[in-house]
Chain A
Amino acid sequence: MTKVTMTVNGRPQTRDVPDTTLLSDFLREELRLTGTHVGCDTSQCGACVVHVDGRAVKACTALAVALDGAEVTTIEGIAQGKELHPMQTAFNDHHGLQCGFCTPGMIMTGIDMVERYKASGLPLTEEAIRHELEGNICRCTGYHNIVRAIEDAAQKMQAAPAAAAE
């Protein structure tokens, strides 16, 4: 067992966990933040994507012990009180989900790509969004509405300063 401290959604959290504990298990089992989903055992589906120190990573493919001192943001941490993050609103407006299983990972990936393109000054075209979504699998929607939602959120986030949650 090793003592791990992370800041999760702005709050410091300390737990004693086995060295093999995945970040996804740390979030779901230890902190009961079950919005981070686990959809595969092979690091391929992206349902588990969270932000670690401001970058999208697969929570199922990182060890909690390796992230001592890290800042982690999950799907539970992006709304401002009752006000949804623009990416969440856009998924709602554009019907970017059906069963919703992939959605937390899609939204965290979506925010990450918008922030990165914004910082680099490159245009986030539809083609770029599709390329950026290669690590996120959806079995329901056929992706079209997810792409529309991210396009819409990107415009709204473009106007705003860098996301408050980051």
Chain B
Amino acid sequence: MYPTTYHKPASLSDAAAALSASDEAMVLAGGQTLLPTMKQRLASPSALVDIRAIPELRGITVSGATVTIGAATTHAEVAGHHGVQQTIPALACLAAGIGDPAVRHMGTIGGSVANNDPAADYPAAVLGLGATVVTNTREIAADDFFEGMFATALDEGEIITAIRFEAPKRAAYMKFRNPASRYAIVGVFVAETDAGARVAVTGAGADGVFRHSGMEAALSASFAPEAIDGCEVGEGDMASDIHASAAYRAHLVTVMARRAVAGAV
């Protein structure tokens, strides 16, 4: 690891100040992505600004159909939260399937969303539920947030403070996991909402998480597994690597989507 200096501000304004004080400063949340990346010397932040001591970034509030999750809330906290389990069970279930117990005890929703790994789980829920990413300066709709693999609409030094979800009528997330890394080879989040169906796909796309408009139209007309039988998933847009070819991924998108629709609660 390259040397760095560690800061643990107690307020959001101090965190923003610490981030702007140093050119290559980075936010540190659970560290489950950033620390391994630093160990491999793929990241060399001049300063680490740990946001876990900022009270308003932690915790979950459920008010009616709205679930607001502080950015520094861990995957284990989301998975085990009674209000999330009741209001958006698909979200609690997704969080329970991230990595392994030790990763879930440390990793945070804000870190996962900010990182936008093309195989990460949370981006599928955020996009599939049309959630809102709240930062220290503004609110960003999920549709405007994800900008291709590892890229987001976040500005330099901008801090995610919370993610706000509206409960759908029903939803589910189905992941075909890579058994070694536990990340998604293909993960599909489907949701039936008042404004129609949403389908977000992670792991598969050559350019990160994406919505499938064909499946959304079909499921808006009829929210049933058979509805997507005729939908095309273009191989050309799929990622291809040692784990799975583009054709295999394209096939899995339909399989996972059907299972998600069948399992939606």
Contacts and interface: CB of A to CB of B under 8 A. Distances in A.
Interface stretch (B30-38, B159-167, B220-228, B253-261): B30-38
Given A19-B5, A19-B6, A66-B50, A61 B100 contact: no
Given A43-B32, A44-B181, A135 B40 contact: no
Nearest to B179: A134
Given A19-B3, A19-B6, A66-B8, A57 B40 contact: no
Contacts of A157: none
B32 A61 contact: yes
B101 A132 contact: yes
B99 interface: yes
Contacts, number: 78
B134 to A, nearest CB: 24
A62 B101 contact: no
B6 A57 contact: no
Nearest to B32: A61
A63 B100 contact: no
A166 to B, nearest CB: 14
Interface residues of A, number: 29
Contact of A18 (B3, B38, B101, B181): B3
A132 B102 CA distance: 9
A119 to B, nearest CB: 10
Interface string B38-49: 111000000010
B77 to A, nearest CB: 11
> Which one of B32, B38, B40, B52 has the highest number of Cβ atoms from chain A below 10 Å of its Cβ?
B32
Nearest to A112: B101
A66 B52 contact: yes
A41 B50 contact: no
Contacts of A44: 180-181
A20 B100 contact: no
Nearest to A58: B102
Given A2-B6, A20-B1, A113-B101, A41 B31 contact: no
B4 A20 contact: yes
B102 A63 contact: no
Contact of A57 (B4, B8, B48, B102): B102
A43 B1 contact: no
B182 A134 contact: yes
A94 interface: no
Interface of B: 1-6, 8, 28, 31-32, 35-36, 38-40, 48, 50, 52, 76, 80, 99-103, 105-106, 180-182
Given A62-B35, A63-B6, 11 more contacts: A18-B3, A46-B102, A55-B105, A58-B102, A63-B31, A63-B35, A109-B102, A112-B101, A132-B101, A135-B100, A135-B101
23 contacts: A19-B4, A19-B48, A42-B36, A42-B39, A43-B32, A43-B35, A43-B103, A55-B105, A56-B101, A58-B102, A58-B103, A61-B102, A62-B35, A63-B28, A63-B35, A63-B48, A65-B6, A66-B28, A66-B52, A116-B101, A132-B100, A134-B99, A135-B100
